[in-house]
Amino acid sequence: MASEPQEVTASPLVKLNNGLTIPQLGLGTFLSDKGLVGEAVKQAIKMGYRHIDCAWVYMNEEEVGSGIDWAINEGICKREDLFITTKLSGSHYNEIKWALNDSLKKLRLDYVDLYLIHLPFEMKNDPTIKSLADLKKEHCIGYNAEKMSKVWSELEQLVSEGLIRSIGVSNFTIKKLEAILKTAKLIPVVNQVEIQAYFQQNKLRSYCKSKGILIQAFNTLGNPGLFKGKLDVEPLLDNAEVKQVCEKHRATPAQVCIAFGLAIGDILIPKSVTESRLRENFKSINLKLDEDDVKRLKSLDKNLRLYTMKAFCDPAGIPYEEFFDVEFDSSYQI
């Protein structure tokens, strides 16, 4: 009798262009509230997550750090087993080392595995900003290719100082990647962008692949917490095609969406602060979709961006066209 396939208990690793590896499935922490996120990080590490995506601007790094510290002190993992990412806020382009050190202090780390330029836009550094909700269009300064290249070269310097293992970008278009690559000594290891079944960004994906830059996708689940009830389309997790794939594999919609992202080679960071969902999501590493499933899920692409960055874009902020380097392509203004 054929034996049951063994359950996989660790995320697959993916090789970055600098030779280091990253767990393909990690944990996101955007909108993970204080009071919940520390426990979520503890639970996640206990169940096998080894990759956590943070950002200075999420304003919860201290609690994420306490969860990481707990896991290391409990002997659940060693620092070197973890892959921790954080991001440089657009308001800190003139004080990069301060920003990195502030994140390191909050995360209780002496280096991060990956540091990303969060957005290719400078923002005013306003100390009255105490939460994400305080960030307003008036804080936007905008995109400047020369400034971006200067920021990148400072990050390269911090890699050589050992405070960062790898550097990458987030929310960069092909045009903005081309600009940064003109002077970069280190190629970004990833471009962290929105990719979900309704918005697959195949042109950007091909470009990144041609340069050795991996896609780190956010919004894999179509963020039901943020977008449910605000869209004119079926939420991704309620989509009929997704559900059919679920039935075939006896999996949940979230697991199918995650397994799809893994099957197309992306690095994923689905967020949850709910223990059962953390487990459910992590178990996606055991779900192997076949060619038909992947084809079916690929056909869901509608070029539908959910994160339209309305908080920063028109009117009064950065023009949408400048932010995304495309004509406005979505009627779904969130």
Ligand X SMILES: NC(=O)c1ccc[n+]([C@@H]2O[C@H](COP(=O)([O-])OP(=O)(O)OC[C@H]3O[C@@H](n4cnc5c(N)ncnc54)[C@H](OP(=O)(O)O)[C@@H]3O)[C@@H](O)[C@H]2O)c1
Site string for ligand X, 177-206 (x = CB under 6 A): ---------------x--------------
Contact between residue 35 and residue 67 where contact means Cβ atoms under 8 Å apart: no
Q: Which stretch binds ligand X (CB under 6 A): 25-33, 62-70, 102-110, 132-140?
A: 25-33
Q: State yes or no: residue 171 binds ligand X (CB under 6 A).
A: yes
Task: Report, in Å, the least distance between residue 278 CB and ligand X.
Answer: 8
Instruction: Rank residues 96 and 121 by Cβ distance to ligand X and give the closer one.
Output: 121
- Residues sharing a CB contact under 8 Å with residue 328, sequence separation 6 or more, in sequence order: 320, 321
Q: State yes or no: residue 170 binds ligand X (CB under 6 A).
A: yes
Range list of H helices, the chain: 37-47, 61-73, 96-107, 145-160, 174-181, 202-211, 224-227, 240-249, 253-263, 275-282, 291-298, 320-324
Task: Report, in Å, the least distance between residue 135 CB and ligand X.
Answer: 12
Task: Report, in Å, the least distance between residue 220 CB and ligand X.
Answer: 5
Site string for ligand X, 103-122 (x = CB under 6 A): ---------------x----
Assigned token pair, 280: 């459910």
Q: Note the residue count of the chain.
A: 334
Instruction: Rank residues 66 and 171 by Cβ distance to ligand X and give the closer one.
Output: 171
- Considering only 147, 175, 249, 277, the residue that binds ligand X (CB under 6 A) is 277
Q: Which stretch binds ligand X (CB under 6 A): 95-103, 201-209, 264-272, 296-304?
A: 264-272
Q: In Å, how far from its chain's centre is CA 74?
A: 27
Q: State yes or no: residue 249 binds ligand X (CB under 6 A).
A: no
User: First and final CA of the chain: distance in angstroms?
Assistant: 53
In the chain, count H helices and then E strands. Answer: 12, 12
- Does residue 164 sit in helix, strand or coil? strand
Chain residues 201-240 in contact with ligand X, contact rule CB under 6 A: 218-225, 237
Element (H, E) at 83: strand 83-88
Contact between residue 196 and residue 306 where contact means Cβ atoms under 8 Å apart: yes
Site string for ligand X, 26-55 (x = CB under 6 A): --xxx----------------------x--
- Considering only 274, 299, 303, 333, the residue that binds ligand X (CB under 6 A) is 274
Q: State yes or no: residue 293 binds ligand X (CB under 6 A).
A: no
Chain residues 61-90 in contact with ligand X, contact rule CB under 6 A: none
Euclidean distance between CA atoms 281 and 290, whole angstroms: 19
Contact between residue 119 and residue 77 where contact means Cβ atoms under 8 Å apart: no
Positions in the binding site for ligand X (CB under 6 A): 28-30, 53, 118, 170-171, 192, 218-225, 237, 254, 269-274, 277, 280-281, 307
